Amino acid sequence: MKIEILGTGCPKCKKLTEQVEEAVKELGISAEIVKVTDIQDIINYGVMMTPALVIDGEVKSAGSVPSPEEIIKLLKE
């Protein structure tokens, strides 16, 4: 599983990264977590507001930080 956090390092981006790391640990799954900070790469996903969460190439959320419970649900899909 590849998880990408799209954002340039804003506080919300950092919070999303922390919550994703916690969710991966809680689920005990193997995942590569990548921070994407290049604006062009973010735009290529069609994301206009960060932070965004991309799981296996699919944008799952953008413009907000999902709750830990929502992140766990998205990772289980």
Per-residue pLDDT tens over the stretch 33-44: 999 999 999 999
Does 10 qualify as catalytic in the annotation?
yes
Q: Is 29 considered catalytic here?
A: no
What pLDDT sits at residue 9?
A: 85
| pTM (two decimals) | 0.93
* Average pLDDT of the residues in 57-68: 95
Catalytic site residue from 8, 9, 10, 29: 10
Number of H helices, E strands in the chain: 3, 4
Across 12-26, average pLDDT: 95
As a whole number of angstroms, the distance between CA 39 and CA 47 comes to: 10
pLDDT (0 to 100) of residue 77: 85
Pick the catalytic residue from 5, 13, 23, 24. Answer: 13
Residue 7 · residue 58 · CB < 8 Å: no
CATH number of 2-76: 3.40.30.10
Give the pLDDT of residue 6.
97
pLDDT at residue 8, rounded to an integer: 86
- Give the span between the Cα atoms of 65 and 40, in whole angstroms: 21
Answer for the pair 51, 7: CB distance below 8 angstroms, yes or no: yes
